[in-house]
Structure 1
């Protein structure tokens, strides 16, 4: 009996390691060997590890910002450079989704046109505007945070924002039959719940209870707003919608924390 239990624990640990490796490969530019679970079901299950990868990204961005502040670089400059470093680490994956969504929803006349525009890699006026607004909001919010709140705020923002992705993927229909969002698969509800629990636990570890509750509510509201917009515009979600939801939630969290701590 003990051997069976030990074997089960080892198998579960291996599954988590595979999920972390795959989630890291999906969400960052960090080179990772393709784990054995890189099948549709493996891709879907790996979404439970999105908050953990988000925590590492947020920690890296926060430490970069703190290091530059420690060198005497002004807060506005260090915040901009830290956000740029974060975009380099992730390959601007979610920023690209936000820009595509802005161009598609802003410039398309109907569902088919919106989806076609979202496939176009070129940046249009609507995409540029939403990127500018998102970056400016995060930049100013980060620069206004007390230095002690920089790292925990960034960790929580990246954790909660990425937990929104499996929730949307598990509950929303896909707007097209191909693309990155569809290829990642539909996670089980248990996967989405696991991601949310991990994200909420990290938020509670990093922030005072009231602040943690605030940003959980803000994340839910931001993700719901993007989901409702996507439903009305294209009838479901795509990889670009996931990226946009992450960016909207991340921005909303940092603004909320800046308002609370400043």
Structure 2
């Protein structure tokens, strides 16, 4: 019975992760929902699912005779729809705050403002443009494994930042998901190992890119904010995903 209860608990945590990171139907949760920290282990799994959906649209568009550019734009579109533009919103708020904030309090205030500024607009344009251009260049190379690996590891960056930094606020997503998670660390390690095993040097390159983004954004968040917020996590996910596609477009033949 204890194993069955544990399995049910994990299923509920997976539901929470799907509800948080996507707009996909995940059913209803009866009783008290698991804490976000407890659901962190499922972030890479949900990212792999989002990546697989993106690949299906990308490959379908190519199979139907569409160009690499059109397929990449459709992949970006379905990713935005499936995730509810969650990470794009985080990137815009993060860019506005870091770009325009005078100090910690002012930066956090800007990031909480729902309006978008010039830094946020440019960040979204650059992220969307780089993603589309890189994926279009990989028209003949980007198979399902790369989509799954990048989707999983870019969500793993969020988990890594939550493991290593405190929340910057006493409320919000960063606070709700605060705390260390043994299951989260284990899932991230499994995602890294599997990525290298199934995708070889390309998987290793994605691991290196995601680690670099985590270190860089973690340092910025610590210095400017004192920790992480939901916007920091969203920005980290999207930046690592875009950066991974750009690096692969440079390294791999199209």
1:38 aligns with 2:33: yes
Change (3 A) 1:193 1:107: same
Change (3 A) 1:186 1:19: same
Instruction: Confirm or deny: 8 A CA contact 1:29 1:90 kept in the other structure.
Output: yes
Runs of 5+ consecutive residues of structure 1 not aligned to the other structure? 1-6
Deviation at 1:146, TM superposition (A): 4.0
Runs of 5+ consecutive residues of structure 2 not aligned to the other structure? none
Match of 1:237 in 2: 228
Deviation at 1:256, TM superposition (A): 1.7
Deviation at 1:37, TM superposition (A): 5.6
- Could you list the structure 1 runs, at least 4 aligned residues long, displaced by more than 3 angstroms after superposition: none
Instruction: Confirm or deny: 8 A CA contact 2:167 2:178 kept in the other structure.
Output: no
Change (3 A) 1:140 1:93: same
- Greater CA deviation, 191-200 or 52-61? 191-200
Whole-Å separation in 2 of the counterparts to 1:206 and 1:67: 23
Change (3 A) 1:50 1:36: farther
Matches within 5 A, 1:1-262: 7-32=1-26, 33-34=28-29, 36=31, 38-39=33-34, 42-188=35-181, 190-208=182-200, 210-262=201-253
TM-score by length of 2: 0.94
Name the structure where helix makes up a greater proportion of residues: 1
Deviation at 1:147, TM superposition (A): 2.9
Deviation at 1:168, TM superposition (A): 0.9
Deviation at 1:76, TM superposition (A): 0.6
Provide the aligned length of Structure 1 versus Structure 2.
Answer: 252
Deviation at 1:200, TM superposition (A): 1.5
- Greater CA deviation, 61-70 or 30-39? 30-39
Instruction: Confirm or deny: 8 A CA contact 1:164 1:246 kept in the other structure.
Output: yes
Instruction: Confirm or deny: 8 A CA contact 1:94 1:246 kept in the other structure.
Output: yes
Whole-Å separation in 1 of the counterparts to 2:196 and 2:61: 27
- SS in structure 2 at match of 1:43: coil
Whole-Å separation in 1 of the counterparts to 2:4 and 2:219: 41
Question: What's the Cα RMSD here?
Answer: 1.6
